[in-house]
Structure formats: structure tokens, C-alpha cells
A and B are shown apart, each in its own frame.
Chain A
Amino acid sequence: MLVVGILLIVAVIAWIDLPRLWRKKQKKDLSVYLILLLIGTGLSIAEGLNWDIPNPMDWLIYVYRPVGEWIFHQL
């Protein structure tokens, strides 16, 4: 049900912009658009079904926590 709902929303969104992009034949615009739409759909479905998605914030914490701790230690 949830997947159907998300796909429906994506279909509405594609209906707004896709025909115009298709007609203009701007390959680069179209490919960036489709890639982003695909990522968005995949991410929404994965999040909606509670799959285990790698969290970019964990990577940021991994990189920046030592820096942050060092700064606060200095003060």
C-alpha cells in the first residue's frame, strides 16, 4: 500500500516535468532528472519499509567527531 502510494506520488511528479524535458531533448537535463527521481523513489520506499539504510550522518560523525572533541578540549 505504502509502495503504491509513493509510486503514485512519483508518477504525478514525473507527469509535471518529464514531458517537457522529453520534448526539449536535453539529454543531460533529462538524465540528471531521472537519476535524482530514481534515488528519491528508492530512498522513500526503503525508508517507508523501514529498511536499514546507511546514514550519511554516521559518516559525518565518524569524520568530524575527533575534530569536534579536539576543539572542545582546547577551550
Chain B
Amino acid sequence: MQIPAPFDYARATTVNDALALLERHPDSRVVAGGHSLLPMMKLRLARPEWLIDINDLYELDFILREGDYLRVGAMTRHTTLLESPEIARLFPIITDAERVIADPIVRNRGTIGGSLCQADPAEDLSTCCVVLRAEAVIRGPGGERTVSMSEFHRGPYETAVAQNEILVEVRFPILPRSGSAYEKVERRVGDWAVVAAGAAVSLAEDGTIDDVAIGLTAAGIDRTITEAEAVLHGKKPTEGLFIEAGRIAAAASDPIADQRGPVDYKRHLADELTRRVLRHACARALEVRHTTTQEG
């Protein structure tokens, strides 16, 4: 029987209440969906003295469009993201990823904030947020600060969120004529990725690629792959360019061999999946472009 070591439990009623609890109890962890933290506590990989439950912070459960940003509250559950028509329209990469994150029952509990703060190197939403150039809003005793996703990620299981702070929101910039896609290869339903890839593109008015970001999950690289993006910049999307970008992304990846597969297989996936998500993201961007033209 796996039972966590003893701890004290407090349920926060507001974000400020949660911050006060974190301040009062230095050896504490915040729990949202709990589907990463509780298993770690069962295995004694985490052993906080206090657990601060933020499931009552409904103020952090929202998806709101504000100007050129989509604001997503940290307590937004995976199921909510998966079922959001606004997310599907603006950031289909998130819908793609949510379909393959864990299983429908786990998705009822897990949250975007929890996934990002857990910062597992094989976690899917981190890649989505990086390629969408999202910003993380972190609140602490001194107020709010906003960091880019590259600043947010400090390495495996480490983020910019300090012990006395909480991730409250993720902000996604909305770009015109844009498309995005995510694809993951997993051994079985609900597993972590063997490797996954995500891409986001936005097109200029003449149909050339204005901005592009490519990211890989579980491939030993947590930044966007700028060297692969460089071959696409300013050009019209073509299959030849996708193949070239895939080759470069695979070379830039640094996967490790484990029970999910050997290095050469993972590199092969990085190559193939990069091509696929670029193809898909560009097709979606063109679709948006046509729809906009028709509407406008």
C-alpha cells in the first residue's frame, strides 16, 4: 500500500490566502490536481510538511480573451482546455496535446498550472507554451511578475516559481494568420511521450512564414529549435523546407535511451514528428488565412 508520509493539510480559499499559507509554512507544497505530486509523495520523492490545497481557487479557473492575448487561469483543468472551442480555434496545438495527455479521468483533475509547475521533461503543455511564446504570470508577496516560458523553465522539475509564490495565469499572444499543431508518439494510451513535437507558425500577408517556433518533448531539449526555424523564416511553406527543418531538429535533439526507446529511434521520431507538425500547423494557418479573407 502506498501512502504519503504524514503532513499537515490546509485548504486555501483565495490566492492571497494561499500566499499567506506558503509564507507561514516554508516546507510546503501547493497541490492542484495532485496527479503528479501525490504519486511522488507516495514514493517519498516529495515529502512536504504542509500541503496547501488550491482546488478551491475558482478565481484561477478561466479562459478569457483580452485584446491580443488569451488568458488562461492556472487552475483550468485539462478537460476544460480540451473542450474549449476558443482554444481549438486559436491554439489547436493545445487541443492536440490535451487529447493525448494522460486519460479522460486524470484530465478531470489535472490543471495547466500544475503541469507547468511540475516541469516534467516529458510533459506536453510545456512544449505547447514554449512554441506559442506564452508568458507565465507569477504572484508572490510583493505582487505579480510576468516571465517568458524560457525564463519559467529552469530545468527538469524546476521553475521560476519560488517557494512563496504561485503561478496564477498563462498568457498566450494571439497572432494573425497563425496555426499550430502537436503530435506525440506514446507506447500506450495515457503514457508519457516517447518523443513529441509541437510547432506554431504565423504567416505574413503574402503567405510567407513570418514567425515559426518548433519544440520537442522528451528529447533532451527544452528551448525552441532556432536553427530549424531559421530555414523557414521568410519563405513560403513547402514540403522540402519541412524535411530540412525535421533533419535539423533531430540533430539538435539530445534524447536519452530508456525503456521508451533507444536514441536513434527517438531521433527518428524528432525528425518525422517535426515534419508532421510543421505541415499541419502551416495548413491550419492557411485555413485561418482563407477564413479571414472570406469574412473580411
- Do the two shown chains form a genuine complex with each other? no
Residues of chain A having any CB pair with chain B under 8 Å: none
Residues of chain B having any CB pair with chain A under 8 Å: none
